[in-house]
Amino acid sequence: MNVKVIKTSLFKENGDLFSFLDKYLPKLKSKDIVVVTSKIVALSEGRFCVVKTQKEKDEIIINESDWAMKTKYVWLTIKDGDVLANAGVDESNANGKLILLPKDSFLSAKLIRNYLLKKYKLKNLGVIISDSRLLPLRAGVVGVSLGYAGFKGIKNYIGKPDLFGKLFKFSKTDIADSLATAAVLVMGEGLERQPLAVISGGPAQFTNKINRKELKIDIQEDIYKPLFEKI
């Protein structure tokens, strides 16, 4: 698998995302996966604001959340079925603004994919809208896919044999987030100015139909639920 990152100019607020992609993406091949950082998608949608007080920031975070709890460092929130800090509202690389998450990252990925399929006359192509996340009890961020299109987000091993013939009962591989992490690793988090990447040869099963819920787990079924209840 190869991940090629693309250095660009700064993407401006309310900029034309598709013109930006036209300018910087190389010629794409069948079964490539294009990774677009969520910040430039959000900026293209006007999903940013300026606040003057912490109270205003807190109100925005609460409004962006399905559930929110204030802690020592951040708001711990649930948004669209994901656990994240501050509902994804971010001040980094924002030039004094707050940048929210895209309105609908799955829809954004679909629209980008449709545009690129037509432009390059391709049959199979993947698109990921990427972000970064902290994991419990681990230092540092990893990549995450907020939305994707063109490939299955999960590989299911349930019912298949392991090396010694024992059948898996629970194992699945999170393809979408794993690919996002590979891209985010080389795209960077600071002043790299590399908001785009192209993954070639990735282990993805391409498809035109996406199940938005395939990576979601009901909170009542999450294996960490008993632990967090005790904490």
Does residue 150 come out as left (phi exceeding 0), alpha (psi in the -120 to 50 range) or beta?
left
What is the model's pLDDT at position 130?
A: 97
Superfamily of domain 2-46+104-230: CofE-like (3.30.1330.100)
pLDDT tens for 148-168 read 999 999 999 989 998 898 998
CA dist., res. 48 & res. 67, Å (int) = 21
Query: What are the structure tokens assigned to 65, written together?
Result: 């959340």
Provide the pLDDT confidence category of residue 178 given band limits of 50, 70 and 90: very high
pLDDT-above-70 percentage for the chain: 100
Report, as an integer, the average pLDDT of 18-47.
97
Strands 75-79, 141-149: pairing is unpaired
Indicate the range of 34-38, 79-83, 124-128 predicted with least confidence: 79-83
Percent helix / strand / coil, the chain, rounded to 5? 30, 25, 45
pTM: 0.94
pLDDT reading at 231 higher than 70? no
Alpha helices (H) in 37-194, listed in sequence order: 38-44, 54-64, 105-120, 175-187
The whole-angstrom separation of Cα 97 and Cα 48 is 7
* CATH 3.30.1330.100 residue ranges for the chain: 2-46+104-230
Q: Across residues 53-62, what is the average pLDDT?
A: 95
Work out the average pLDDT over 22-35.
97
In a 13 Å sphere around the CA of 32, the CA atoms on its Cβ side amount to 21
Report which secondary-structure segment, H or E, holds 83: strand 82-85
Give the separation between CA 161 and CA 150, rounded to whole angstroms: 28
What confidence score (pLDDT) does residue 62 get?
96
Q: Kindly report the average pLDDT of the chain as a whole number.
A: 94
Instruction: Centre a 10 Å sphere on the Cβ of residue 41 and count the other Cβ atoms it contains.
Output: 27
Average pLDDT of span 199-213: 95
Average confidence (pLDDT) over 186-215: 94
**Average pLDDT, stretch 191-215?**
95
3-state secondary structure of 77: strand
pLDDT for position 229: 80
Residue length, the chain? 231
- DSSP state, 224? T
Residue 100's nearest CA partner among 140, 52, 65 is: 65
Residue 145 has a pLDDT of 97
Supply the pLDDT for residue 208: 95
Banded pLDDT at 220 (limits 50, 70, 90): confident
Enter the tokens of residue 163. 């090396």
CB 142 within 8 A of CB 184: yes
Side chain identity, residue 107: L
- Position 190 scores a pLDDT of 87
* CA 42/CA 46 separation, integer angstroms: 6
What average pLDDT does range 18-35 have in this prediction? Answer: 97
